Amino acid sequence: MSLFTPRRIGQMSPGGSLITYLLLLAWAAFVIFPIYWLVITSFKSISDVNAGPVYLPFIDFQPSLHAWKDLLIEDWDDTRRAYVNSIIIALCSTGLSVLVGSMAAYALVRVTYAPRFSTILLFVLSLGGALAASLAYGVDWRLAGAVAVAIFVLAVRGLGNRFAATLGNGDILFWMISQRILAPVVVVVPIYMMFQSVGLLDTRTAIIVTYAVINLPIVVWLMFDFFNSIPRDLEESAQLDGATMFTVFREVVLPLSKPGLAATTLLVMILAWNEYLLALFLSTADAQTMPILVAAMNAGERGILWWTMSAVIVVMILPVLVLAIVLQRFISKGILVGAVKG
């Protein structure tokens, strides 16, 4: 490269270009190979799997549909139930958390809140007191709860005005987003006990609500950034015309934020589809989701039946794979929105 004929921007020397391609292709192979192996294993006969590796269908081995027959005909009831559960849970929890989360995010962008610091402190204290009383001294939890609420209300009325330190929208936002740092395992034991005491264990409702809450921080975070970037003028003119906050939100804001909503929805839906730990705690049979079904197939007496296992995993990851390929732009935009802006 001489000084007077600089390379065009980004143009590389042939050697550099070759190395770049080789590295990228190597990584592509590393990404694809496990998926490829999974798919072909689901078409292998039992003896082909057990005898050692065979790689190419029709050349190395004759594909067989026996695993798929097992899965789709003999075990159809189990598979279908888990699949339907997974679909319903992913859709409903996503709907719930996107609705609730985007409303909260919008409110945090447009309305100024000033919760009192003392109120929050009192709330936590009375909650802890009620819990300790009902767990340690066997006080009925309804009674403890009622007393705690009464004390809380009285104390807020009496003391609230003396400590005037307030928090702002930023604090509420941080509080909501920071919930993401909680490992599910920290909160899942009480959630399990809660649902058990109201008889909702092993129902879709329990899992839907839990997933919605777990994913709420992501929705609030992404949608807050998105709403923040929408110009205010349109909303203000609508407000001047006498539209309420609901109308403005529904008629003006939501249509404007379709890209953000789509990205968030997809991301949250995939997270809900893939979730494992919470479903493991909250479901035993009826509400089983696909990841739980797959994990439970480990337990056979003959060891893992890799052919059936592969088939069921293919079925499980097919929807997310298709979504990821078709809508990659949307999803990665969703991941990007929050992080790149910090």
- Tell me which residues in 12-51 interact with another protein (CB under 8 A): 12, 17, 20-21, 23-24, 27-28, 30-35, 37-38, 41, 49-51
**Which residues make beta-bridge pairs with 91?**
none
* Binding residue (CB under 8 A) for another protein from 64, 230, 274, 305: 274
Report if residue 181 touches another protein, rule: CB under 8 A: yes
Query: At which residue do the structure tokens 């447009």 appear?
Result: 110
Where does this chain touch another protein (CB under 8 A) — which range of 73-81, 148-156, 157-165, 181-189? Answer: 181-189
Distance in Å, CB of 98 to another protein, minimum: 11
Tell me whether residue 111 or residue 165 sits nearer to another protein (CB atom): 111
Site for another protein in 217-256 (CB under 8 A): 220, 244-246, 249
SS3 at position 341: helix
Q: Where are the alpha helices (DSSP H) in 283-326?
A: 290-296, 306-326
Contact between residue 315 and residue 71 where contact means Cβ atoms under 8 Å apart: yes
Comparison of 220 and 261: residue with beta carbon closer to another protein: 220
Phi, psi of 61 (to 5 degrees): -150, 160
Q: Closest distance between another protein and the C-beta of residue 237, in Å? A: 17
Residues within window 319-338 making contact with another protein, judged by CB under 8 A: 320-321, 323-325, 328, 331-332, 335-336
Distance CA(292)–CA(180), nearest Å, equals: 23
Q: Which of 7, 142, 157, 258 binds another protein (CB under 8 A)?
A: 7
Q: b/e map of 66-80 (b: 16 or more CB within 10 Å)?
A: ebbebbeeebeebbe
Determine if 84 is a binding residue for another protein (CB under 8 A). no
CB of 73 to another protein, least distance (A): 22
State which residue, 162 or 342, has the beta carbon closest to another protein.
342
Cβ neighbours of residue 13 under 8 Å, at least 6 residues apart? 1, 7
By beta-carbon proximity to another protein, the closer residue of 53 and 162 is: 53
Nearest partner of 228 among 255, 260, 263, judged by Cα? 260
- The C-alpha atoms of residue 291 and residue 146 are separated, in whole angstroms, by 40
Q: How is residue 59 annotated by DSSP?
A: T
Place of tokens 């920290």: 186
**Listed ranges 60-68, 103-111, 147-155, 158-166: which one lies at the site for another protein (CB under 8 A):** 103-111
The nearest distance, CB 287 to another protein, in angstroms, is 16
Q: One symbol per residue from 115 to 154: x for binding another protein (CB under 8 A), - otherwise; what is it?
A: ---------x--xx--xx--xx------------------
Residues 150-179 that bind another protein (CB under 8 A): 172, 175-176, 179
Of 46, 88, 107, 256, which one interacts with another protein (CB under 8 A)?
107
Site residues (CB under 8 A) for another protein, limited to 188-207: 188-191, 193-194, 197
CB of 231 to another protein, least distance (A): 20
Q: How many CB atoms are located within 10 Å of the residue 97 CB? A: 28
Question: Read out DSSP for 209-274?
Answer: HHHHHHHHHHHHHHHHHHHHTS-SHHHHHHHHTT--HHHIIIIIIHHHTHHHHHHHHHHHHHHHHH
Do 58 and 241 touch, CB atoms closer than 8 A? no
**Nearest CB to another protein, comparing residues 194 and 285:** 194
Residues β-bridged to residue 166: 116
By CB under 8 A, is residue 65 in contact with another protein? no
Which position among 14, 15, 52, 303 is part of the footprint of another protein (CB under 8 A)? Answer: 52
Instruction: State residue 166 phi and psi, 5-degree precision.
Output: -120, 160
**209 vs 261, which CB is nearer to another protein?**
209
